[in-house]
Amino acid sequence: MSDKNDERMFGLEDEELDRRFAAAVRRANEKKLILGVPLPKYDARTKRAYLLYADGHKEYVVAS
């Protein structure tokens, strides 16, 4: 098998699959915000998890 075939899946290059995957995740997150579902996020600076709401406010999650 050649290296070219190893880099392809379903006839697409790795970069194209990565681009499509990232776009699908972006669209899914946008849809959740439109529907009012908060997005779980992680703040690397404060090392805390939070929920991001459509209006932009953050609600930090308290570990139980």
Report which of residues 35 and 2 the model is more confident about.
Answer: 35
pTM, 2 dp: 0.66
Q: pLDDT at position 18, please?
A: 92
The number of domains in the chain is: 1
Q: For residue range 12-52, what is the model confidence (pLDDT) as tens digits?
A: 788 998 999 999 999 999 999 999 999 999 999 999 999 99
**pLDDT for the residue numbered 13:** 87
Please name which of 27, 49, 53, 25 lies closest in space to residue 39, comparing C-alpha atoms. 53
Phi and psi dihedrals of 29, rounded to 5?
Answer: -65, -40
Q: How far apart are CA 3 and CA 37, in angstroms?
A: 43
| Helix (H/G/I), strand (E/B), else coil: 6 | helix
Containing structural domain, residue 54 = 3-60
